[in-house]
């Protein structure tokens, strides 16, 4: 299989950063988490291989495993495997390959796959969430959460905020002992991953910082009572660290990177506040991906004007 994989060191670092989050997710929800991750990665790999197999040197990008892993971790722990598989196919096929493959896609593939199944299968994606294990050994001796039927809760923390306006257990939010998508619960582990990615120069801190500042400012404007809670719930923080920093789909200019983060943060809060969707990050990211090429183009044009005038 190594002969068919395009090695990309930067993608390996992203996967390393995800390892603690994967282990914690297994603790919370059982070994089914790993099954879902392996399944989405296999489907994503096969999808890309089918698309590149007729090339002179068929190579599947290492990035496909980042896509498969991020996609799986953004899904609920009870997601049916066939839905996870559909998400993986959509992510690779319509999030990347229709644009020509790795390096030319404008949308984050993992978010494309998640958005498709989020809209297509709302019951499986949004209606109910499994309460996690909270004590050792957690899910390390279980395939999935014990007595899942009895342990179903009606909403994730971000859903509870949308319904009742509050979710006060900040310590649970920080450590991640809460219902939610498989890799999006623990604030502390996501922040540690962010530090690792920044130190290893795998991700740009400017994009993370601008998005967090934007999210905090506009949440304070629209929902001041729950500013901190909103920052710590939903998939926004996970997406800020692992998805807006995708070097292929993010802004290419220095100013554009700041605008990109600010735009994602604002749109996330706006969608959360004024739409029917409790979690607005994925739609915010897709919208920002849509507009960033033209914003980058405009910035480059503005920068070029003084030199052009000087030449005259």
Residue in this structure with the two tokens 């030199």, named with its chain if needed: 307
Question: Does residue 305 lie within any of the structural domains?
Answer: no
Instruction: Report yes or no on 18 lying in a domain.
Output: yes
Contact predicate 251/259, CB 8 Å: yes
Q: At what angle do helices 32-52 and 81-95 cross, to 10 degrees?
A: 30
Q: Is 266 left (phi over 0), alpha (psi -120 to 50) or beta?
A: alpha
Structural domain count, the chain: 1
Rounded CA-CA distance 178/180 in Å is 6
Q: Does residue 312 lie in a domain region? A: no
Q: Is residue 242 included in any domain, yes or no?
A: yes
**What is the pLDDT tens value at each position of the chain, 312 positions in all?**
556 677 788 899 999 999 999 999 999 998 999 999 999 999 999 999 998 887 766 678 888 999 999 999 999 998 999 999 999 999 999 999 988 888 888 999 999 999 999 999 988 887 777 888 888 888 887 877 655 544 555 555 565 555 544 454 777 778 888 888 898 888 999 999 999 999 999 999 999 999 999 999 998 998 777 777 778 777 889 999 999 999 888 888 889 999 999 999 999 999 888 877 777 889 999 999 999 889 888 898 887 776 555 555
Its pTM stands at 0.89
Q: How many CB atoms lie within 10 A of CB 23?
A: 14
Q: Tell me, yes or no, whether 100 lies in a domain.
A: yes
Q: What is the CATH number of the domain that holds 149?
A: 1.10.3430
Residue 251 lies in a domain: yes
Q: Which domain holds residue 51?
A: 2-136+143-300
Please state the three-class secondary structure of 126-158 as a single string. HHCEECCCCCCCHHHHCCCCCCCCCCEECCCHH
The backbone torsions φ and ψ at residue 89, rounded to the nearest 5 degrees and listed phi first, read -65, -45
For residue 310, is it within any domain? no
Q: Is the bond preceding residue 304 a cis peptide, omega within 30 degrees?
A: no
Residue 307 lies in a domain: no
């Amino acid at each position: 299989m190594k002969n068919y994989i395009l090695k990309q060191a930067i993608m390996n670092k992203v996967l390393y950063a995800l390892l603690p989050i994967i282990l914690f997710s297994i603790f919370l929800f059982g070994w089914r988490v790993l099954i879902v991750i392996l399944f989405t990665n296999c489907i994503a790999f096969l999808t890309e291989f089918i698309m590149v197999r007729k090339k002179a040197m068929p190579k599947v990008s290492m990035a496909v495993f980042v896509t498969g892993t991020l996609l799986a971790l953004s899904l609920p722990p009870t997601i049916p495997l066939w839905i996870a598989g559909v998400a993986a196919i959509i992510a690779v096929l319509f999030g990347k390959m229709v644009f020509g493959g790795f390096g030319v896609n404008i949308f984050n593939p993992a978010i494309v796959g998640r958005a498709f199944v989020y809209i297509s299968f709302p019951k499986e994606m949004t209606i109910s969430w499994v309460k996690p294990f909270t004590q050792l050994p957690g899910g390390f001796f279980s395939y999935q959460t014990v007595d899942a039927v009895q342990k179903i809760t009606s909403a994730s923390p971000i859903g509870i905020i949308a319904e009742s306006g509050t979710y006060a257990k900040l310590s649970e939010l920080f450590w991640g002992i809460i219902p939610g998508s498989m890799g999006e619960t623990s604030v502390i582990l996501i922040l540690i991953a962010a530090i690792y990615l920044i130190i290893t120069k795998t991700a740009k801190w400017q994009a993370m910082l601008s998005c967090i500042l934007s999210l905090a400012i506009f949440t304070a404007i629209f929902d001041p009572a729950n500013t901190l809670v909103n920052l710590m719930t939903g998939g926004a923080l996970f997406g800020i660290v692992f998805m807006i920093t995708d070097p292929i789909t993010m802004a290419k200019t220095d100013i554009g990177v700041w605008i990109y983060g600010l735009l994602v943060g604002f749109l996330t809060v706006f969608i959360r506040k004024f739409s029917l969707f409790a979690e607005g990050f994925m739609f915010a990211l897709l919208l920002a991906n849509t507009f960033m090429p033209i914003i980058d183009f405009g910035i480059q044009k503005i920068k070029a004007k003084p030199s052009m005038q000087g030449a005259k």
